[in-house]
Amino acid sequence: AYPNHAPTQGTPLLNSTDYPLNRTIGNLTAWNVSTVDLDNDAVTNVYRWYKNGVLNASMPNPYYDVGSNNTTQGLVGYWPLNNNTGDFALGNDGISTGGANCSASIAGRIGTACEFDGVNDFINESDADILDFGAGQDYTTSAWIKTTFNPTGSIWPMIIRKEGGSPRTGRNIYLNPDTDGKACFDTFVGGSISIVCSVSTVINGDWHLVTGTREGSNYNIFIDGILENTTVGNTGSLANALAQYISGGGPQVWFNGTIDEVAIWN
């Protein structure tokens, strides 16, 4: 048997995102200094941010986390929902509406989270070009959810929604009332839907990581990091002028439960 050595990490450098200019208008960024693994195993650096001693965000660094190489990961939106609705990737902050509870009393998967009552609670993250994906563009959307609500009839609880219009265009990840507690990931292009749904249910009151990806024409859905289903779908543009919502943003699509660590990659 051979020992497996723990990786070592140098002290990260805290500096402005626009280093070396280091202007005050830049976001504060943790820059990796050195990560070494004697066994040459792959290592992902996870950063935990604290503000005034309180956990404020936790996520693989949006831009630089592969050794000392400056490698863009493509994180275009990250809402940790730790007692606020701020975007810690590119500043597309959300606005809590209808009484969504994002207080420090709401336990999250990491730190705290936001709780939604399924009646009128949502977070409006407005429209941003960086959240639109063009024809042939791959993307990933992900969130931790915790719920016991089983939707029926015309209730479609949205986890993340940026879709609508006529013809319908955009993307969603949600609980499907036609699949008995399973999560689904879909897109609309010119009114045409592409959809993939999970095999397992996610409404048992435990935390579940729900992730959808579009890779070329392949649509994949992962539950708790495990690929559960794949289908072939459209590759057209999902760009629209609509806001992105956490928890639907309208009647019949509001989420009932807790959502944490929302992230989107291009």
CB atoms closer than 10 angstroms to residue 258: 21
pLDDT beyond 70 at 227: yes
Burial of 237 (0-12, 13-18, 19+ CB in 10 A): middle
Which tokens belong to 34? 């050195």
pLDDT beyond 60 at 65: no
Same domain as 52, residue 34:
yes
Same domain as 97, residue 34:
no
Average pLDDT over residues 83-97: 86
User: Does 2 map to a domain?
Assistant: no
DSSP 130: G
Which contiguous run of DSSP H or E holds residue 122? strand 122-124
How would residue 68 be classed by pLDDT, with cut points 50, 70 and 90?
A: very low
- Using an 8 Å Cβ cutoff, are 249 and 124 in contact? yes
What is the phi-psi region of residue 249: left when phi exceeds 0, alpha when psi lies from -120 to 50, beta otherwise? Answer: left
Same domain as 245, residue 204:
yes
Same domain as 196, residue 68:
no
Same domain as 134, residue 92:
yes
Same domain as 244, residue 123:
yes
What is the Cα–Cα distance from 100 to 146, expressed in whole angstroms? 15
What is the predicted pLDDT for the residue at 3?
A: 79
- Using an 8 Å Cβ cutoff, are 184 and 205 in contact? no
Q: Dump pLDDT digits (tens) for 233-248.
A: 999 999 999 999 999 8
Q: Which of 58, 73, 88 is the last residue of a domain?
A: 73
Q: What is the CATH number of the domain that holds 254?
A: 2.60.120.200
pLDDT beyond 50 at 11: yes
Return phi, psi of residue 4, to 5°: -105, 115
Same domain as 118, residue 52:
no
Same domain as 204, residue 89:
yes
Which tokens belong to 170? 């955009």
Q: Dump pLDDT digits (tens) for 166-216.
A: 999 999 999 999 988 999 999 999 999 999 999 999 999 999 999 999 999
What is the predicted pLDDT for the residue at 42?
A: 66
Same domain as 67, residue 91:
no
pLDDT beyond 90 at 230: yes
Same domain as 112, residue 27:
no
- State which residues form the domain around 109: 78-265
How would residue 69 be classed by pLDDT, with cut points 50, 70 and 90?
A: very low
Domain count, the chain: 2
User: Does 1 map to a domain?
Assistant: no
Same domain as 109, residue 31:
no
Which tokens belong to 186? 């879909």
